[in-house]
RNA sequence: GGCCCUAUCGUCUAACGGUUAGGACAUCGCCUUCUCAAGGCGGCAAUCCGGGUUCGAUUCCCGGUGGGGUCACCA
């Protein structure tokens, strides 16, 4: 079956850092392109020189790279004015667009408005288009009037540049946010004036804040950079975003990139907006965190943590946090400083200091090579059962950590090592005599 | 407000006329356990409302209501 190659594009405007909603749009375009063996274009919509900023462009590029969303071609609309100019001239000479001398809408007395702009001659028809996700959508375009498509031959506006680019770049599928639905009819009007093919549209639902409004900065973290900074893993974020508004029709929740590419389909995209749920992202990130090499935890430790110790403490931290940053915060808070140096022990927390003597004797009896949590446990448990688990084990914990809550004392002992464990126990035992 | 889109547990969602309305996150309980965490098991929890169509509607149609988007010489 001969099919035309799929070409899609992700077209952010560099007026802010990459929003998670935009990242999801990029992801859906990417998945669709990869699945269809097609091409994906990144196009910066920076026709508005005032609002566009190269720092934001850099952030977007950086974020996409972090997410490992790669593109086949990259364009910048600000570098394509000659192309738009030619198309504009073509429309003007054909009479389907014209230079307008006055502000025909005359809606306000905005000083920035100038007298001369280029408008499209709007035939004022009903525009009907098929949306892959929503089906038929219909608009009456008469109320649009002869809308402005360029400020001048060298200053095209968004709608015009989009249409020219999608046409010139051979874009077959326009997959973008739902907020563009009402932009679509006027873009179709421009396509018809230009006599170019209409791409296939797929408008995906928006990502919402918990109050169901459009997710924005006032709701907290919205940019990919922020989530990155909070210690989320790129694959976890991508996986979460994929599941926001899309599902495979099975109970699978965790996907590798290739599974996503294989299973993705536009017709399983949701119609309604979806609230961004941090709890679920946290859960997914934990799932990813335990599937990834432990070496990524190395950075959460300050320099004074020996690398051998880092490796031993990592599993303990990993089961207590959702992100790398939380782990870092935990370490910085001093929660695990007892691994570095003996803690100050509050004698009042010691349930039964008298058990220390026997505990020490038992621990001394373990051959150095066997000083592992399982063996330590088997040596200590009979005594703990006899003298009271809380008495023996809680006392041991408090001596080793200075805390009432911590990992189990056997694991603690193993990490500290036989010599250090015994030293701490003996010291407190002697002090309490 | 006009226009457009939309509507299943608190949240993300499954169901494409017939199911005890399923799963996940969160929450609650139990188990495991000296503590915390993790883990295992289980519970609570939804079809917005009103009309149709149909033997039968979560599902199809209409209306209402709620929510969202958009109404620039921004994108």
pLDDT of residue A216: 83
pLDDT digits (tens, 9 = 90+) for A90-112: 999 999 999 987 655 444 444 45
pLDDT of residue A106: 47
Q: Which residues contact A178 (CB under 8 A, 6 or more apart)?
A: A203, A204, A205, A206, A273
pLDDT of residue A244: 96
Supply the mean pLDDT for chain A. 94
Closest by alpha carbon to A12, among A217, A32, A39, A51?
Answer: A51
pLDDT digits (tens, 9 = 90+) for A289-298: 999 999 999 9
* Encoded tokens for A226: 């922020």
**A245 neighbors A275 (Cβ within 8 angstroms):** no
- In this complex, the nucleotide whose C1' atom is nearest to the CA atom of residue A155 is B73
Cα separation, A51 vs A255, in Å, equals: 37
pLDDT of residue A285: 97
* A343 DSSP assignment: P
Closest by alpha carbon to A288, among A232, A234, A229, A236?
Answer: A236
Cα separation, A417 vs A409, in Å, equals: 12
Q: What does pTM read for this prediction?
A: 0.94
Which of helix, strand or coil describes residue A30? helix
Helix axis angle, A81-94 relative to A158-168, nearest 10°?
A: 100
> What ipTM is given for this predicted complex?
0.95
| Closest amino acid to nucleotide B23 (CA–C1') | A251
pLDDT of residue A366: 95
Radius of gyration of chain A (CA): 31
- Look at A351 and A59; give whichever has higher pLDDT: A59
With a cut of 70, say whether residue A113 has pLDDT above it.
no
- In this complex, the nucleotide whose C1' atom is nearest to the CA atom of residue A11 is B75
Cα separation, A169 vs A163, in Å, equals: 10
* Residue that the structure tokens 């005032």 belong to: A50
pLDDT of residue A107: 47
Mean pLDDT computed over A161-186: 97
- In this complex, the nucleotide whose C1' atom is nearest to the CA atom of residue A15 is B75
Strand B nucleotides within a 7 Å radius of protein CB atoms: 2-8, 10-15, 22-26, 33-39, 67-75
Cβ-based contacts (< 7 Å) between A 43-72 and strand B: 45-48, 51
**Residue numbers of A annotated as active site:** 217
pLDDT digits (tens, 9 = 90+) for A50-95: 899 999 999 999 999 999 999 999 999 999 999 999 999 999 999 9
């Amino acid at each position: 079956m001969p099919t035309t190659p799929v070409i899609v594009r992700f077209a952010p405007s560099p007026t802010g850092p990459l929003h998670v909603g935009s990242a999801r749009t990029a992801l859906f375009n990417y998945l669709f392109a990869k699945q269809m063996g097609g091409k994906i274009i990144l196009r910066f919509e920076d026709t508005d020189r005032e609002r566009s900023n190269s720092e934001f462009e850099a952030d977007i590029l950086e974020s996409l790279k972090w997410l490992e969303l790669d593109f086949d071609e990259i364009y910048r609309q600000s570098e394509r004015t000659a192309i738009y100019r030619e198309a504009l001239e073509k429309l003007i000479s054909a009479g389907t667009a014209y230079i307008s001398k006055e502000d025909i809408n005359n809606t306000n007395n905005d000083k920035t408005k100038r007298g001369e702009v280029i408008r499209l001659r709007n035939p004022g028809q009903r525009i009907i288009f098929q949306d892959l996700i929503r089906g038929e959508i219909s608009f009456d375009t008469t109320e649009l009037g002869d809308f402005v498509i360029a400020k001048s031959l060298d200053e095209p506006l968004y709608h015009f540049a989009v249409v020219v680019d999608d046409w010139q770049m051979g874009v077959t599928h326009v997959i973008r946010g739902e907020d563009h639905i009402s932009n679509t009819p006027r873009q179709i009007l421009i396509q018809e004036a230009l006599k170019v093919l209409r791409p296939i549209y797929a408008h995906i639902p928006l990502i919402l804040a918990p109050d169901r409004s459009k997710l924005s900065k006032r709701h907290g973290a919205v940019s990919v950079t922020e989530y990155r900074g909070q210690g989320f893993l790129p694959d976890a974020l991508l996986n979460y975003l994929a599941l926001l508004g899309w599902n495979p029709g099975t109970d699978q929740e965790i996907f590798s990139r290739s599974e996503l590419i294989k299973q993705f389909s536009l017709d399983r995209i949701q119609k309604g907006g979806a609230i961004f749920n941090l709890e679920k992202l946290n859960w997914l990130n934990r799932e990813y965190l335990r599937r990834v090499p432990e070496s990524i935890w190395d950075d959460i430790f300050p320099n004074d943590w020996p690398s051998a110790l880092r490796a031993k403490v990592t599993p303990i931290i990993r089961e207590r946090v959702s992100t790398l940053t939380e782990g870092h915060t935990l370490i910085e808070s001093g929660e695990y400083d007892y691994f570095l140096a003996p803690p100050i022990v509050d004698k009042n927390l010691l349930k039964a200091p008298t058990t220390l003597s026997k505990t020490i004797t038992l621990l001394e009896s373990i051959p150095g090579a066997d000083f592992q949590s399982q063996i330590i446990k088997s040596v200590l448990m009979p005594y703990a059962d006899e003298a009271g688990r809380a008495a023996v084990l809680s006392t041991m914990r408090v001596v080793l950590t200075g805390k009432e809550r911590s990992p189990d004392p056997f694991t603690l002992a193993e990490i500290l090592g036989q010599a250090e464990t015994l030293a701490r126990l003996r010291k407190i035992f002697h002090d309490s005599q």
